[in-house]
Amino acid sequence: MTVIVRDFRPEDAVAVAEVRRAAIPFMVNTPETVAWQVAHAPAAQRYRLLVGEWDGRIVATAHTGLAPDADEPGRSFSNPSVHPDARGRGVGTAMLVEAERYLAAEGATSLYVWALDEPHCLEFAERRGYRLSRGSVFQRLDLTTAELPPLPDTEALPAGVELRTVAELADRVAEFHEADVEATADEPGDLAGTAPDLARWRAMYWDHPALDRDLSMAALVDGAIAAYTVAHTDRRDRYQSGMTGTRRGYRGRGLATLVKTASLHRARAAGFTAAFTSNDADNQPMLAINRRFGYEPAQGERRVFRSLV
């Protein structure tokens, strides 16, 4: 059979979301999020969503583009995902070859890819000249059986602390942006870059179609946003933690645990059955918090990279 690699078309959204759901079941993907990402990618990113066909059926997809805000000039990314039923047929290779060709032609000098932390994936990457970098861990929580920490009554919260949904704080976008930029800057990782300004942050995160503002929570301390957790859902059964952060001046008070507890209780009450999150393998504070909730490791990933020049 012939492998065809081509650009995404709007009518592919359902098939692409299904491939991603099968290939990476630890993330929230819907036809709406697929189409939104293509439509809202920054022009400087030169973004392409590659689609791989096998025997006339879409079986693979790959986010591909430049990283214009990176502190390393010429950096780019591509993250191929292949449906489990189509692996071992050369589809992933064809996707990566096209991504490398395209990005090199666009002036990229290095390419970063997320690969499953499994021997055959990492050996494949090394054969193509990729080197290993940091790891990440997907974790899963069964919301139908999880023994979540009890949610304190309003009267039992520490003095000055208040829990609110993001929906209730929709007019405080600028403050959420400040909190997120500060918390994200302290996340461990192998890549750094320029934080997005408010307009871009709003377009990338606040307006994301998977953001569930009724399940995303913030902890206010004396009226100021001190900690928050972002919830993405597929509006069906899957809940994914997008980011949990605490501003520097409020750390060590258990606020991250508090907002996650409130969000997970609300998610279960809303009928979601599985919760997923992902952390850098060296982010021990968040890994410890998630273990206390009952999250279990589901899949490891490794960032791999290579030169394109």
Strand partners, 217: 165, 229
Q: What's residue 283's pLDDT?
A: 87
Mean of pLDDT values over 49-69: 95
Return the domain boundaries, the chain.
3-108, 141-301
Strand order in the sheet with 57-66: 3-7, 48-54, 57-66, 75-82, 110-116, 296-307, 131-142, 274-280, 238-246, 224-233, 217-221, 161-165
How many C-beta atoms lie closer than 10 Å to residue 3's C-beta? 18
Which numeric CATH code is attached to 3-108?
A: 3.40.630.30
DSSP state of 207: T
Please state which of the ranges 10-14, 143-147, 189-193, 216-220 shows the lowest mean pLDDT: 189-193
Render pLDDT for 96-126 as a digit per residue (tens, 0 to 9): 999 999 999 999 999 999 999 999 899 999 9
Residue for token digits 């189409």?
A: 35
Q: What's residue 86's pLDDT?
A: 93
Residue for token digits 């490791």?
A: 297
Query: Is 90 exceeded by the pLDDT of residue 53?
Result: yes
Domains 3-108 and 141-301 are alike in CATH topology: yes
Percent of the chain at pLDDT > 90 equals: 83
d(CA 85, CA 214): 36
With left for phi above 0 and alpha for psi between -120 and 50, is residue 85 left, alpha or beta? alpha
Please state which of the ranges 141-145, 246-250, 289-293 shows the lowest mean pLDDT: 289-293
Residue for token digits 């979601």?
A: 272
Q: What's residue 156's pLDDT?
A: 84
Query: Is 70 exceeded by the pLDDT of residue 1?
Result: no
Residue 304: strand, helix, or coil: strand
What is the distance in angstroms between the CA of the first residue and the CA of the last residue of the chain? 32
Residue for token digits 């920490």?
A: 149
Render pLDDT for 229-251 as a digit per residue (tens, 0 to 9): 999 999 999 999 989 999 999 99
Please state which of the ranges 12-16, 88-92, 258-262 shows the lowest mean pLDDT: 88-92
Mean of pLDDT values over 7-35: 96
Topology of domain 141-301, per CATH? Aminopeptidase (3.40.630)
Name the more confident of 289 and 266. 266
